[in-house]
Amino acid sequence: MLLSTIQNRTDLIRTEAKRLGFMECRISKAGFLEDEAPRLEEWLANGSHGKMAYMENHFDKRLDPTKLVEGAKSVISLSLNYYSSEIRSDIAAPKISMYAYGRDYHKVIKSKLKALISYIHEEIGEVGGRAFVDSAPVMDKAWAVKSGIGWMGKHSNVLSKKTGSFYFLSELILDLELTADSPVADHCGKCTACIDACPTGAIIKPYVVDGSKCISYFTIELKDEIFPKEYHGKFDDWMFGCDICQEVCPWNRFSKEHKEPDFYPHKDLLNMTRAEWEELTEDVFQELFKGSAVKRTKYQGLKRNIGFLSK
């Protein structure tokens, strides 16, 4: 196969990805993530996944895309901006992570990936592959770093000099040879803003997050009825997720407003007062978060989180 043909296919896919609204579309050669294997093994051995038992599953598949797609040759990493400068009108009201303002990103991105795969089939031919949006055993951050979408920040989010870190990651793993991109340099330098700002000490050292101490873990993943007493007063009013490490990152001053209609918040979401959140009914919950990622906590979970903030 001529290089020019490979490059033409690569350019074709990039152009369509941009048309579909993806911010970046970069490519890695599919293969075993050798550097990630010992890191993942140590992270799991230290219990940094807390009660997220699913993280222990499919260890080999997480590290080798050819175990997910037979004959895989390329991993296409895509980023989709979700940054919004909109804030809640009552600054005393509980906070939700910016990524959950609008429609569930899984549904939005899967629709775009499906369209991209259809385009590839139409323009290039029968190509084997699968699409992934963070709910499958794919190390999306590792692939994003490998492709050069950005570098791994000390808070473990992927950072870009142009756009910061407020974006979703997803992948297409294909049995199609494409032109691979190169990683970019780490530009965190001596900065420790994210480490210093984390109220629960979840960033235990640069580039390593103990998930079991993260506010996002407590407010989304943990299903216990009560939280450990040592974390009382440390949630900084976050009732779903947490953006602290991203908010303090100097690179996020370059974040730009997203243009995805599905990510705009429900008209009432940012106008809720603290009192209204504390009196939240299930009917209002269902209306505010229809089709939202916040549904993952269920009504009782969000009520638990809100109640913990007032203690």
Helix or strand holding residue 310 (H, E): none
Q: Establish whether 134 is a catalytic residue.
A: yes
Long-range CB contact pairs, 53-59, < 8 A, 24+: 57/137, 58/137
Nearest by Cα to 21 from 110, 81, 99: 81
CA distance 54 to 260: 31
94 - beta bridge partners? none
How far, in whole angstroms, is CA 238 from its chain's centroid?
Answer: 17
Nearest to 170 by CA among 216, 106, 221: 106
| Element (DSSP H or E) covering residue 96 | strand 95-96
Q: Give the residue among 26, 220, 8, 20 at the shortest CA–CA distance from 104.
A: 220
Determine the pLDDT at residue 1. 45
Q: Which residues lie below 8 Å from residue 283, measured CB to CB, with a gap of 6+? A: none
Active-site hit among 11, 35, 60, 134: 134
**Residue that has been written with the tokens 């000390």 in this structure:** 154
> Considering the entire predicted model, what is its pTM?
0.95
What is the chain's pLDDT, residue by residue, as a tens digit (311 residues)? 445 599 999 999 999 999 999 999 999 999 999 999 999 999 999 999 999 999 999 999 999 999 999 999 999 999 999 999 999 999 999 999 999 999 999 999 999 999 999 999 999 999 999 999 987 899 999 999 999 999 999 999 999 999 999 999 999 999 999 999 999 999 999 999 999 999 999 999 999 999 999 999 999 999 999 999 999 999 999 999 999 999 999 999 999 999 999 999 999 999 999 999 999 999 999 999 999 999 999 999 999 999 999 76
| Whole-number pLDDT of residue 4 | 57
Contact yes or no for 112/22 (Cβ under 8 A): yes
The residue length of the chain stands at 311
| pLDDT given for residue 176 in this prediction | 96
DSSP 27: E
Give the pairing type, strands 158-159 and 167-174.
unpaired
In the prediction, which pLDDT does 13 show? 97
Q: What pLDDT is attached to residue 135? A: 77
Helix (H, G, I), strand (E, B) or coil at 146: helix
Alpha helices in 189-297 (DSSP H): 193-197, 215-216, 244-247, 274-278, 282-288
Q: How many CB atoms lie within 10 A of CB 29?
A: 16
Closest Cα to residue 148, out of 139, 161, 138?
161
DSSP annotation of 164: B
Q: Residue 87, Cβ neighbours under 10 Å: how many? A: 11
